[in-house]
Structure 1
Amino acid sequence: MLTSFSSYLFVGAHPDDIEIWAGGLIFKIHERNKTAKVYCVVLTDGSAGQGSVQERYEESMEAAKMLRVDSYEFLNFKDASLDFNVELSKVIANLIRKYKPDVLVTHPASDKHPDHAAVGLATSKALFLAMVSPEFLDYEPHLCRNVLRFVSDPFSSPSSRVYVDISEVYEMKKELIAKFKTQLDVLEPYLQLNELYGRMIGVRAAELFEPEVLIF
């Protein structure tokens, strides 16, 4: 059911956030729904992580080709600045209005990483701004009815959960994550979470999301 919508917007704070938390879902969307539109937006330049900004950009572009997304946009805000220097709710509201997704997938406000938490909190405000008509926003208003949050901490899993069986695309996801050569020592252990979540529902691998709003 989660792969049956017409359009999806994935918003990540950093290069590789979308791929590690939702790469399997994107693969499944393409396999199950040939007409779906998938848009990805990365908010920061990744400059606070390992590797140069250019290296991280090139890695993301390679990943975008493999994911076959319809748009992969970088906004290039300074890494680690989102909680301090950006009117983030306006930025995300404009993204919602620009891409008009049926489903928005992004970070939770409870994430321990300050950038992730800033995106999560700003998204809650942006969802309202996107559907009204303030003069400081672009594009036509849009009501996004479905919102999923990444689950990045297995020790604080939400009470409401959506598991996505990615067994059939798990090898592809591992190839996808291998594109991020500068980040492999950070990212590869998280693939084990996919196997853990899979065991929880009796399959090889799964991704886990928190449904904020989900209407089928």
Structure 2
Amino acid sequence: MKLLAIVAHPDDADIFCGGTLAKHADRGDTVTIAHLTRGEYGGIETTTSEIASVREAEARQSGEILGADAVEFLGFEDGRIEYSLENRLSIVETIRTFSPDIVLTHYRDDMHPDHRVTSRLVTDAYYMASLPLVETPSDPCDPENVYYFGKPTAEFDPSVYVDISGYEDVKADAIRRHESQVEFLQSHGGIDAEFDNLVDGIAAENTVLGKQTGVDSAEGFVPFHETTRAYLE
């Protein structure tokens, strides 16, 4: 099986689906992480180009820990991801390049505007990737399904749970590789309480999801199609 996680920023994949990616990589599946941006707004007291370089390096290190086969950056601008045909076609080409069975991305209901736009772009690109008359350099492909991840909200209610028991430490280690971002989020404060203790807070959320399905730790998803031949597990 081939998985492609398309996320807005470095650290998004680790936080939202790092355990799932590590589990699939460990069992021999092909895992790719594609970042729309280099996260250049995620820092203080330095330049955006310096932040982007640091965050890209951190993301590549965390990708190695998760066992990803490829870590890509698509060149979008942090905080300024826009819904456009050009951007949609860029993601179509990314999907076609890696020809995944399953695509993972952000849920549409999210506080961060980049996450919301990413969700819409990926959903529409997923549809377009199979259309022969949509021209991009790579050949059309037809992924089985999109699985959305997100933070607990009134709207986001997972219906698919992936048991990540045994991969908690791998996920935590991958998140900690984003040293600059963990420090920034914890000092940023105010916007989201989970940033006060990022790694422990995410682990606690995974534990809660695990209890709902009778396992030690889990990540939750909402599938685009309820019925599919390729299952995220």
For residues 130-189 of structure 1, the C-alpha deviation after alignment (integer angstroms, 9 at most, x for no partner) is: 11133542211111111100122x133534511111111112211111111122233323
Question: What TM-score do the two structures reach when normalised by structure 2?
Answer: 0.82
Q: Does 1:43 find its partner at 2:28?
A: no
Is contact 1:103-1:147 (8 Å) kept?
Answer: yes
Q: 1:112 to 1:87 in 2, by over 3 A?
A: farther
Return the offset for 1:13: 0.4
1:72 match: 71
SS in 1 for 2:20: helix
Alignment of 1:6-155 (within 5 A): 6-31=1-26, 33-34=27-28, 36-50=29-43, 52-83=51-82, 87-134=86-133, 136-152=135-151, 154-155=152-153
Is contact 2:6-2:122 (8 Å) kept?
Answer: no
Is contact 1:88-1:119 (8 Å) kept?
Answer: no
Report the more deviating stretch, 114-123 or 195-204.
195-204
Return the offset for 1:68: 2.0
* Superposed CA RMSD: 1.9
SS in 2 for 1:131: coil
Q: Does 1:192 find its partner at 2:204?
A: yes
In structure 2, stretches of 5+ residues that fail to align are: 45-50, 187-194
Return the offset for 1:202: 2.5
Report the more deviating stretch, 100-109 or 178-187.
178-187
Q: 1:84 to 1:128 in 2, by over 3 A?
A: closer
Q: 1:11 to 1:202 in 2, by over 3 A?
A: same
Distance of 2:118 and 2:23 partners within structure 1: 25
In structure 1, stretches of 5+ residues that fail to align are: 1-5
SS in 2 for 1:94: helix
Is contact 2:7-2:105 (8 Å) kept?
Answer: yes
Is contact 2:11-2:178 (8 Å) kept?
Answer: yes
SS in 1 for 2:221: strand
Is contact 2:37-2:77 (8 Å) kept?
Answer: yes
Distance of 1:212 and 1:135 partners within structure 2: 22
2:164 match: 166
**% same residue:** 30
Question: Which amino acid in 1 is paired with 2:136?
Answer: L
Question: Which amino acid in 2 is paired with 1:47?
Answer: E
Q: Does 1:208 find its partner at 2:226?
A: no
Q: 1:13 to 1:103 in 2, by over 3 A?
A: same
Distance of 2:114 and 2:167 partners within structure 1: 29
Return the offset for 1:87: 2.8
Question: Which amino acid in 2 is paired with 1:210?
Answer: V
For residues 88-134 of structure 1, the C-alpha deviation after alignment (integer angstroms, 9 at most, x for no partner) is: 21111111111110000011222221111111111221122111133
Is contact 2:149-2:220 (8 Å) kept?
Answer: yes
Q: 1:195 to 1:84 in 2, by over 3 A?
A: same
Is contact 2:63-2:174 (8 Å) kept?
Answer: no
Distance of 1:19 and 1:148 partners within structure 2: 15
SS in 1 for 2:36: strand
Between the two proteins, the alignment pairs up a number of residues equal to: 208
Question: What TM-score do the two structures reach when normalised by structure 1?
Answer: 0.88
